[in-house]
Amino acid sequence: MASKSSQFYVLGVAHKLCLAAEAVGFTPEELDILADNPQVLEVLLKVVRKKLRGAPGPVIDLGARPLVPRGLTLMKHDGEGVFAWDPRAVSLFQMEEQRRGSLVSGSRLFEEMKRTVAWNANVLDFLLGNQGLIPENWKERVHGCYPLIYFWGTLYRMADGSPCVRYLAWNGAKWVMGHSPVQSDWMSHTAAAVYRLVEVDI
């Protein structure tokens, strides 16, 4: 027979689970249906156990105040919660003109980036501090140049007030960071780090 303390623990975990489920949209009726369907619970159990076996990567606090390099001021920072580093969740986005080797105006790219979910500068700084986790294909030349990977989830202002975005790049010898004005012509070897849904195999 379970001890009273362990019973209280189970009840506490169950209560926490119900609150979390309701927070993401489950109704009490749906939770009741879930409790009466062991087949569905078995599928969820497989997902949870696979996730636990997956050895999640280091955690990045997306909502923390980002690094502000000297000469810049923080303009806008999008992001909340934490992200267990998984390179599969990061896609490199380019507009069609860039993929063809042409320039794109800053105003057009800025509007396009509003329709994406871009990773913020906290991811950039995490990767600079953990360079062994940076995907190797980020070193591959694009149209003859090493790519500049921009993190549009954080915008800064330069000394003259112009908005800018920070980037991560391989210069042939080491990883470096820099920034570029938003209102400039964006070349074919620039890309934005955006969110990509990672499917979980069951």
Read off the pLDDT of residues 134-163 as tens digits, 9 standing for 90 and up. Answer: 999 999 999 999 999 999 999 999 999 999
Q: Where are the domains of the chain?
A: 4-53, 59-195
Tell whether the model's pLDDT for residue 78 goes beyond 80. Answer: yes
- Percent of all residues in the chain with a pLDDT value above 70, rounded to a whole number: 85
Residue found under tokens 């009840």:
11
Closest to 110 in 3D by CA, of 164, 168, 167: 164
CA 16 to chain centre: 26
Give the list of residues 6+ apart from residue 2 with CB closer than 8 angstroms, or none. 10
Of the listed ranges 48-52, 56-60, 105-109, the least confidently predicted one is 48-52
Report how far residue 55's alpha carbon sits from residue 51's, in angstroms, rounded to the nearest whole number: 7
What's the chain's average pLDDT? 87
Report yes or no: 79 and 141 within 8 Å, Cβ to Cβ.
Answer: no
Tell whether the model's pLDDT for residue 3 goes beyond 90. Answer: no
Tell whether the model's pLDDT for residue 17 goes beyond 80. Answer: no
Tell whether the model's pLDDT for residue 175 goes beyond 90. Answer: yes
Please state, in angstroms and as integers, the Cα–Cα distance from residue 70 to each residue in 51, 58, 104, 158, following that order. Answer: 40, 27, 28, 10
Report how far residue 153's alpha carbon sits from residue 79's, in angstroms, rounded to the nearest whole number: 7
pLDDT value of residue 32: 84
By CB atoms closer than 10 A (0-12, 13-18, 19+), residue 78 is middle
The larger pLDDT score, comparing residue 190 to residue 35, is at 190
Closest to 180 in 3D by CA, of 194, 191, 166, 192: 166
pLDDT value of residue 4: 41
pLDDT value of residue 50: 57
Tokens for 22, please give them: 């309701």
Report how far residue 62's alpha carbon sits from residue 68's, in angstroms, rounded to the nearest whole number: 15
pTM: 0.72
Report how far residue 168's alpha carbon sits from residue 177's, in angstroms, rounded to the nearest whole number: 5
